[in-house]
Amino acid sequence: MSLDDETIEAVAGGERSRPGRPDHAIPRYKLGETLGSGGMATVVLARDRQLGRDVAIKRMRPELAGDPGARRRFEEEALILAGLEHPGTVPVHDAGTLETGEPFYAMKRVQGRTLRDLLSGRQPEDIRSRQSITHLVDVFERVCQTLAAAHRQGLVHRDVKPANIMVDEMGSVYLVDWGLAVRLEGDGRSREHPGGSIAGTPAYMSPEQARAAPTNPASDVFSLGTVLYEILTGANPFSSSDVLESMRRVREETPVPPVARNPVAGRSLSAVCMKALARDPALRYGSAVELAEEIRRYREFRPVDAAPPTLLERAVNWMRRHPAVASAAAAALGVGLLGGVGVAVRIASRHSLHVMASERLDAADASLARVDAEIARATAAREAAPPDGRARLSLELDELRALRAEEYETVHGLAYAILGFGASSPDQVIQARVRRYQVEGVERYLAAGQELAAAASLRRALRAAATTNSLGFSKVEIAAMEAKLIQVEARLTPSRGPESEPPGH
Q: Where are the beta strands (DSSP E) in 163-261?
A: 165-168, 173-175, 182-183, 197-200
- CA dist 289 and 310 (Å) reads 26
Backbone dihedral angles phi then psi of residue 232, each to the nearest 5 degrees: -80, -30
First and final C-alpha spacing in the chain: 45
Residue type, 116: R
* Helix-helix angle 267-276:288-299, to 10 degrees: 180
User: Three-state DSSP class for 321?
Assistant: helix
Helix (H) or strand (E) holding 291: helix 288-299
Residue type, 500: S
Residue type, 63: E
Q: Do 229 and 277 contact (CB within 8 A), yes or no?
A: yes
Neighbours of 266 (CB within 10 A): 18
Nearest to 360 by CA among 324, 399, 414: 414
Report the phi/psi class of residue 458: left, alpha or beta, with left for phi > 0 and alpha for psi in -120 to 50: alpha
Q: Do 304 and 272 contact (CB within 8 A), yes or no?
A: yes
- CA dist 260 and 69 (Å) reads 46
- CA dist 265 and 258 (Å) reads 6
Catalytic residue among 94, 159, 177, 220: 159
- Is 126 annotated as catalytic? no
Give catalytic residue positions: 159
